[in-house]
Homo-oligomer: A and B are copies of this chain.
Amino acid sequence: MQRLKCRVEYDGTAYAGYQVQPNGVTIQEKIEKALTQMHKGLKVKVTASGRTDAGVHAIGQVLHFDTSLNIPASNWKRALSSMLPSDIRIAEVEQVSEDFHARYDAKGKEYRYYVWNSHEANLFRRLYMYHIRKPLDIESMRTACRLVEGEHDFTSFCSPRTDLKGSKVRTIERVTIEQHEAELVFIFKGNGFLYNMVRILVGTILEVGMGDRTPDELTTMLAARDRKSAGKTAPPHGLFLWDVDY
């Protein structure tokens, strides 16, 4: 028996999210089905660093599973990828110790959110970027980013549909906005993220960028601990789970 750790990329467009659920096809389901085929019908369970929502993409999702197959880690990438559809790709596989856990051992995560800010649509990136026609004030969005960095109770930036009972205190190490002409990339690094947290933060910071809110409202929202105080949830298709730290 060996435990394998995989980095997985996926285009979330066609899926009802990462995690197996009764309605709609999920990424976990596709991966478990491929593994079950490789194990001649024996069901293999995979554990990921966390779920991603319907339509959200990943470059650096990490998962682990146990296998009794006698295949060296270096051959797994090709073997497993060949059983998967073209919108899911096993990017790296390595053997890890039996006590490695993709979810519990994750120390931090990086998410990126892509915005296309132009009057003109970008047809060929439409599935991977949120298109905003209205000009955005990057400097006031950057000021807003500074205010959510650090340790805070992020209740206002968590979907009420969460099943989390415990603390909503999390630490965002850094939020940056990179700009390459019309393309904006919001980069979030933190020790953990609540349900819809990145999308609500992006939606709110974009309202600052459009001049509908001032940057310091972010401080008031954090203090309110009420989802209703924050802005709209940005759509899923601009979001990428970029990296998981162990």
Contact = CB atoms under 8 A, between A and B. Distances in A.
Interface of A: 9-11, 57, 86-87, 89, 91, 120-121, 123-124, 126, 128
Contacts of A10: 123
Contacts of A128: 124
A117 to B, nearest CB: 17
Contact of A57 (B9, B89, B121, B124): B124
Contacts of A123: 9-11, 86-87, 89
Nearest to A9: B123
- Residue among A57, A89, A91, A123 with the most chain B CB within 10 A? A123
Number of copies: 2
Contact of A91 (B9, B120, B124): B120
A57 B11 CA distance: 20
Nearest to A92: B120
10 contacts: A10-B123, A11-B123, A57-B124, A86-B123, A86-B126, A87-B123, A87-B126, A89-B121, A89-B123, A91-B120
Contacts of A9: 123
A107 B123 CA distance: 27
A240 to B, nearest CB: 9
A56 to B, nearest CB: 13
Contact of A11 (B86, B91, B120, B124): B124
A123 B120 CA distance: 25
A91 B122 CA distance: 10
Given A57-B124, A86-B126, A89-B123, 10 more contacts: A9-B123, A10-B123, A11-B123, A11-B124, A86-B123, A87-B123, A87-B126, A89-B121, A91-B120, A124-B128
Nearest to A121: B89
Nearest to A10: B123
Nearest to A240: B124
Nearest to A89: B123
A95 to B, nearest CB: 20
A176 B124 CA distance: 23
A231 to B, nearest CB: 24
A37 to B, nearest CB: 20
Contacts of A91: 120
A121 B78 CA distance: 11
A57 B124 CA distance: 9
